Structure 1
């Protein structure tokens, strides 16, 4: 539905909305999400398939409830992007609480490269912006097809500090160099990027094509892996970014075991807030040979 709005008009709408108090923006965003749930039938189908595969223990009614809550949160996350593009750093700091920054700073002060393991929750960009206010990071940026949105998304991810945004086509060399220079790597490994550089490991018990970069890069750079989760708080209450303890005994010599551990950890966090995971992504589109596609 939002794709039918001219991009310049959508950006103007985001600019107007960013002046509103966050609780009011949340109400508007959740209302947009309700419309998406009702009319974005293709995406609703993808969400329901994902929930059926990942949470089969729930009945249809409960999965529908989660799907509807997911679209409401998705609507919020879309409209609140204007805050990332134009709100002051002071306002964003009041809105986004950062927990565990001292752990990350201690690792960097010791000269340890760091990978921030940041799964695709809907508050992901809010978390990235808040971390960028405290640390100069490196991350991977996927260029958008729409030039207007590409400009503003890039702007939002680079406006604070001295952030380094690399494309997937740049390879790992630039990322490794940046990590060794003291930049935490804001790493998003939980999407289906196809067969290349992926292995099939379980995600909620379903074989999922999963990239192995967390294990391989942490071994190559001797980086600490720090879990990073951004939670959207209810009622327009803002966001909280949680930086956990660095993983012990990671990586190992077994890339498959390491990648399985990553997926299991992501599963455990998803279960704490299932409506906020990025279910509109076709996580299981790449299948093992001979297995039918679920979508």
Structure 2
């Protein structure tokens, strides 16, 4: 399943994408502090992405109705910085050396992975879509050997780069398309760790409605199914950007106990409640600019105006 380069990627129609990748690589070589300041300057411009900006605004309002309008606007402004910073953080994840990256973060909880390995157990490394998702995965890869679920990208150059760079996070790791369930289950049963983030609205066929910040949210039931079929643990991990460009903290949390419990609703609710707890200390770092609540219960109107 390792990524292989295809000569078709050198076709003229891909040259602009390769040029963009080259510029991205060069930006990633700048000192972290400069990249941080560049993201601060870029953040206000993201209001121009009106559809994404509007979705973030709606999602924050739905999830934090108890906050004042001024407080929600502050989260939104800070979230635009996180979105801008994601460009640089992904470049750091893909293009920095492991030695250089190691100086940027601290990590706790590795003993939970070691315990699972000692038992010969595979595990779902339960993550969520913070804006620094790729950076957290790269940092984790310095201590944990794992595979990763991913969604193929339409841009073939970007798709190739994301696969080959993510597979470089840890030796022996592979990228698994999210619809390749058979490979995922097989790898779990072999005792592999697999990065997995289920906090996306994938539609009613694979989801049930479970509260997420008090909003009835289409939540995939696959987390419990994969854990059961793969005879695997669920070990969550998160990463957090520290204030003022001071780096990152990666936390590997204790595995879920008695999971799956066998109740589809309760199992999905447990995942959402974990995510709520991790988002609350840094709501500005979550990826709000997505149709998180696209699927609505029957009879309920869409939260979003216009075409999603």
* Rounded Cα–Cα distance in structure 2 between residues aligned with 1:99 and 1:34: 34
- What is the deviation of 1:258? 0.9
- What is the deviation of 1:142? 0.8
TM-score between the two structures when normalised by the length of structure 1: 0.93
Q: Are 1:60 and 2:57 counterparts?
A: no
Residue equivalent to 1:235: 244
Name structure 1 gaps, 5 residues minimum: 1-5
| Match of residue 219, structure 1, among 228, 235, 240 | 228
| Match of residue 77, structure 1, among 63, 86, 105 | 86
Residue equivalent to 1:164: 174
Q: Which moved more, 1:148-157 or 1:280-289?
A: 148-157
Per-residue deviation, residues 232-270 of structure 1 (Å, max 9, x unmatched):
122222222100111222211201111011111111111
Residue equivalent to 1:24: 34
Per-residue deviation, residues 217-246 of structure 1 (Å, max 9, x unmatched):
222233221121111122222222100111
Residue equivalent to 2:95: 86
Q: Are 1:263 and 2:272 counterparts?
A: yes
| Match of residue 253, structure 2, among 220, 235, 244 | 244
* Rounded Cα–Cα distance in structure 2 between residues aligned with 1:246 and 1:283: 26
Contact 1:14–1:81 (CA under 8 A) maintained in structure 2: no
- What is the deviation of 1:76? 0.8
- SS of residue in 2 equivalent to 1:196: helix
Q: Are 1:204 and 2:175 counterparts?
A: no
- Within-5 A mapping of 1:1-20: 7-20=17-30
| Match of residue 192, structure 2, among 183, 194, 201 | 183
* Rounded Cα–Cα distance in structure 2 between residues aligned with 1:83 and 1:253: 40
- What is the deviation of 1:34? 2.1
Contact 2:36–2:245 (CA under 8 A) maintained in structure 1: yes
Count of residues paired in the alignment: 288
- What is the deviation of 1:32? 1.5
* Rounded Cα–Cα distance in structure 1 between residues aligned with 2:116 and 2:179: 29
The two structures, once aligned, show a CA RMSD in angstroms of 1.5
Residue equivalent to 1:173: 182
- What is the deviation of 1:179? 1.1
Contact 1:23–1:235 (CA under 8 A) maintained in structure 2: no
- SS of residue in 2 equivalent to 1:178: helix
- What is the deviation of 1:47? 0.6
TM-score between the two structures when normalised by the length of structure 2: 0.89
Per-residue deviation, residues 160-191 of structure 1 (Å, max 9, x unmatched):
31112111232x22111111212111110011
Residue equivalent to 2:109: 100
* Rounded Cα–Cα distance in structure 2 between residues aligned with 1:246 and 1:9: 43
- What is the deviation of 1:214? 1.5
